[in-house]
Amino acid sequence: MKVFHRTLALKLPISSASASAPMADTHLPQVLLPPELWSYILSFLPDPEMLRVCATNRIFYDLAMDRQYKHCEFPYFQGCRGSDLLHVARNPTLAKRIKVVNVSTLYLFPISFPVAPGWRSKILRFLIPTVLRRRISTTGRNATLAVPPQDVASLNTNVDRILDILSMAENLQKIGVHFPIYESHNMELDFITALSSLLHDCNSIYYLSLRLQYAKLDWVLPLMHFRGLREVRLYIYMRASDNLPGSPRIPGIFLQFLEYLEPSLEALTVWVFDYEFISQISQSLCHEGAIMRKVRELSTRLSFQNPHAFDAISTNYPLVTKLALTPVIDMELPPFLEHLRLPDLRTLRLWMPESLPGFWRGSCSSPLLDELHVTTGDHMPSEEVARLCQFFSCTKITRISISVEVLDARLIDLLARSFPDLRSVALHVKHLMQSRQLFEERDLSSFREEMRERRYPELRELRRFSVSFYGSDTPAAAVISILAESLPNVEFENQAIHFIPR
């Protein structure tokens, strides 16, 4: 690494002055590259080496400082890759380098916001209506915080310092806010109001991540109306000891939030961790949701309460190219995947609690599908795997990952016939051959005999094959050695062993 560093410093000098001046007459070659390329090259260096790169020249110093202060975790004041955020607050130049901010409200209270020139004066324009504040205070869930008097001043100072830093972060691109399972509605409301007022006119923000309770959606989402958001992630959970239901206004507020995002949103992730509210969020996302014409990536956990759920996804998200679903089936007749009509779909991920009869009926309506990942709670039996392969045989799948109950030669034959363009295969196996034991030597002998004469010229593009057995790596190593004889140009791997192509 030291030799490489000297090469960068001596043979590839670059500075802001040399970009406009004629190249000096020297015996060493002069290479002028834009800062974006240097940033990519330096991204391969570990953090300790970046400190040495700082001394090379001004451009390298700027690139190293951008990396050092790019990601900040609040209120953990030792964030920024070990730098002191208190120093950032006193240095506007460093604050402008911040691009990613994660804020947790757990340690920020009690909060007080004195009105003064600067960012504090903006808060008055974004104060929450008194009616909303009164409704939150009457829910009976805002417990009083017991904070020692000596800690109040330091907590207020920390909150003000965070807002001061964010007011100077002109190049902020990503923001994440975590609302812990904590009874502090009024104090969180004040902080989020101030935060939204600061960032409302920040046009550089394109990513928003929220982790919060379902009951807080009705006052958090109206404040998170940032302009130009292209990626939004919502992780919604319910406190186990909270028996009070969320506001009935939440589905409508969630729908309004989606409608506000529609002009610019390209990636949407919505995960609900409480079964009671999955159906409500599903109703807003699909059955009554806004038409999200620009969304290319969708990841969510959905409750399919009618057989036309996939039709609704096809209508509301017509241009999706990456789709990740966890179907929660709460009906006797489940929807069929053939109703999912997304002509531009390239990547499909399914997490299914169990195998559903008839789910793979018909054929896939996404001919451009390139990547398929199917994970089930119980590994798919051979008959189910055959139906899955038949369903997707009309696609151009090059990467596949599935959970299977039995690995045998017929499974390899089936994959070769159904997907001749395969480049990567990942199998999560429960049993070898038809055995119900984790691993038996006679099954390994039978598998070796079946694969002895098999060759797969149709899989000429296959480069990676991963095998993992449930509960043990020992059979995977033995199985890989057998498969390597039938697929000599493939790199096999599992968590414990790697075979390099011969």
- Give me the pLDDT at residue 432, please: 84
Q: Which amino acid is at 1?
A: M
Q: What is the CATH number of the domain that holds 439?
A: 3.80.10
| 357: in domain | yes
CA 157, 163, 165, 168 dihedral sign is negative
| 312: in domain | no
Q: Which residues of 30-62 are buried (b: 16+ CB within 10 A; e: fewer)?
A: eeeeebeebbeebeebeeebbebbeebbebbeb
Domain end, chosen from 40, 68, 96, is at 68
What is the residue whose two structure tokens read 């009976």? 140
Q: How many residues are listed for the chain in this entry?
A: 502
Pick out the chain residues at pLDDT < 70.
1-31, 75-90, 107-158, 181-186, 239-247, 287-289, 304-307, 329-335, 435-440, 471-474, 495-502
| 454: in domain | yes
Domain end, chosen from 22, 50, 68, is at 68
C-alpha torsion 335→339→345→351, nearest 10: 10
- Residue 98 falls in which region: left (phi positive, over 0), alpha (psi -120 to 50) or beta: beta
Domain end, chosen from 32, 48, 68, is at 68
Residues linked to residue 71 through DSSP beta bridges, in sequence order = 100
| 452: in domain | yes
- Give me the pLDDT at residue 291, please: 85
- How many domains in the chain? 2
What is the residue whose two structure tokens read 């009105």? 115
What is the residue whose two structure tokens read 């529609």? 262
Collapsing DSSP states into helix, strand and coil, what is residue 416? helix
DSSP secondary structure letter of residue 472: B
Pairing of β 371-376 and β 347-352: parallel
How many angstroms separate the CA atoms of 184 and 304, rounded?
Answer: 34
Contact 408, 447 (CB under 8 A): yes
| 474: in domain | yes
How many angstroms separate the CA atoms of 161 and 409, rounded?
Answer: 64
Cis peptide before 110 (omega within 30 of 0): yes
Tens digits of per-residue pLDDT, 355-375? 777 788 889 999 999 999 998
| 152: in domain | no
Instruction: Show the domain range for 485.
Output: 348-502
Find, among 49, 53, 61, 65, the residue nearest to 1 by Cα: 49
Tens digits of per-residue pLDDT, 238-251? 764 554 455 678 88
- Give me the pLDDT at residue 367, please: 92
- Give me the pLDDT at residue 249, please: 83
| 6: in domain | yes
Two structure tokens written together for 418: 């159904």
| 107: in domain | no
Two structure tokens written together for 10: 């001596």
Triad 400, 377, 299: Cα angle to 5°:
60
How many angstroms separate the CA atoms of 373 and 425, rounded?
Answer: 10
Two structure tokens written together for 319: 């241009």
Contact 205, 172 (CB under 8 A): yes
